[in-house]
Structure 1
Amino acid sequence: MMHKHAKKRIRRYREFSQSIQPWMFGDFETKRTCFWTDFEGEDAPPLKPTYRTMEECRKALDLPRGAKPVDRVHKAAPGPKRWAERSKFFPKVAEQLAIQYAG
Structure 2
Amino acid sequence: MTELRVLVGCETSGVVRRAFAACGHDVWSCDILPAEDGSNRHIVCDIRDILDDGWDLLAVMHPPCTRLCNSGVRWLSGPPKNAPNEATLAEKQAWPVLSVAERRAIMWRLLDEGAALFSACWNAPVDRVAIENPVMHRHAKERIVNYQKPAQTVQPWWFGNRAFKATSFYLRGLPPLTETDRLDPPKPGTDEHKKWSIVHRASPRPDRWRLRSRTYPGIAGAMADQWGGAALSAAAALNDVLEVAS
TM-score (norm 1): 0.70
Q: CA deviation at 1:97?
A: 1.2
Q: CA deviation at 1:88?
A: 0.9
| 1:99 equivalenced with 2:228 (yes/no) | no
Instruction: Identify which of structures 1 and 2 has the higher relative contact order when contacts are C-alpha pairs closer than 8 Å and 6+ apart.
Output: 1
User: Which residue of 2 is the match for residue 2 of structure 1?
Assistant: 136
Name structure 2 gaps, 5 residues minimum.
Answer: 1-134, 230-246
User: Which residue of 1 is the match for residue 211 of structure 2?
Assistant: 85
1:51-66 superposed matches below 5 A = 51=181, 57-58=183-184, 66=187
Q: 1:82–1:8: structure 2 CA closer, same or farther, 3 Å change rule?
A: same
Give the Cα separation in 1 of the matches to 2:136 and 2:169. 14
What number of residue pairs does the alignment pair up? 90
Identity of aligned residues (%): 40
TM-score (norm 2): 0.33
| 1:27 equivalenced with 2:161 (yes/no) | yes
Q: How big is each residue's C-alpha offset from its partner over 1:75-101, in whole Å with a ceiling of 9 and x where there is no partner?
A: 211111111111211001111111112
- What is the root-mean-square deviation in Å for CA atoms of aligned residues? 2.3
Q: How big is each residue's C-alpha offset from its partner over 1:33-82, in whole Å with a ceiling of 9 and x where there is no partner?
A: 1112213xxxx221111245xxxx139xxxxx745371111221111111
Q: 1:11–1:98: structure 2 CA closer, same or farther, 3 Å change rule?
A: closer
Q: Report the residue type matching 1:95 in the other structure.
A: G
Q: CA deviation at 1:5?
A: 3.4
User: Which residue of 1 is the match for residue 178 of structure 2?
Assistant: 48
Bigger CA radius of gyration = 2
Q: Tell me if structure 2 keeps the 8 A contact 1:28–1:58.
A: no
1:66-85 superposed matches below 5 A = 66=187, 67-68=192-193, 70-85=196-211
User: Which residue of 2 is the match for residue 13 of structure 1?
Assistant: 147
Q: CA deviation at 1:14?
A: 2.1
